[in-house]
């Protein structure tokens, strides 16, 4: 699974953190978050390194806000920054386990949420066809 997809899935699952869910689903979600914490930490560490290397900074060393990423990039390094971000987002990570449609049946999800979770769901038959 690509790291960017994992980060999106973690965000969707984290939105459910305050909801009452069936015990087996809550446990599986909590376990997923715990088992992928290292991947999230890796992402943020590398992302911050990329920003530190390529973002414009003011006189006090703070990031300058602007541009495509919400952060102004040094013009001469824009392509290098995009390449490194692409590499980071496309880093392959191991998925600890899958969820079933049955696991997800207790949730109310938007289509956008479903796109964020689709790589985590292993279909159990033809219920989606």
Mean pLDDT by 10 residues, the chain (129 residues): 96 91 94 97 97 92 80 91 97 93 90 93 63
Q: What is the pLDDT of residue 14?
A: 94
Q: What is the pLDDT of residue 128?
A: 47
CA distance 57 to 54: 9
CA distance 77 to 54: 6
> Is residue 99 domain-resident?
yes
> Is residue 126 domain-resident?
no
Structural domain total, the chain? 1
Task: Report phi then psi at 55, rounded to 5.
Answer: -85, 150
Q: What is the pLDDT of residue 129?
A: 41
> Is residue 55 domain-resident?
yes
What does DSSP assign to residue 107?
-
> Is residue 128 domain-resident?
no
What does DSSP assign to residue 96?
-
Please tell me the pTM assigned to this model: 0.84
> Is residue 8 domain-resident?
yes
Contact predicate 98/120, CB 8 Å = yes
> Is residue 108 domain-resident?
yes
* Structural domain range at position 108: 3-121
């Amino acid at each position: 699974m690509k790291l960017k997809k994992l980060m999106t899935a973690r965000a969707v699952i984290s939105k459910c953190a305050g909801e009452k869910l069936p015990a087996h689903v809550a446990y599986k979600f909590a376990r997923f978050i715990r088992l992928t914490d290292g991947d999230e930490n890796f992402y943020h560490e590398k992302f911050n390194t990329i920003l530190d290397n390529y973002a414009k900074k003011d006189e006090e060393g703070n990031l300058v806000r602007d541009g495509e990423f919400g952060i102004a990039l040094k013009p001469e390094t824009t392509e290098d920054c995009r390449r490194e971000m692409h590499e980071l987002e496309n880093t392959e990570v191991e998925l600890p386990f899958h969820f079933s449609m049955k696991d997800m049946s207790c949730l109310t999800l938007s289509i956008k949420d479903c796109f964020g979770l689709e790589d985590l769901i292993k279909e159990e038959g033809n219920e989606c066809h």
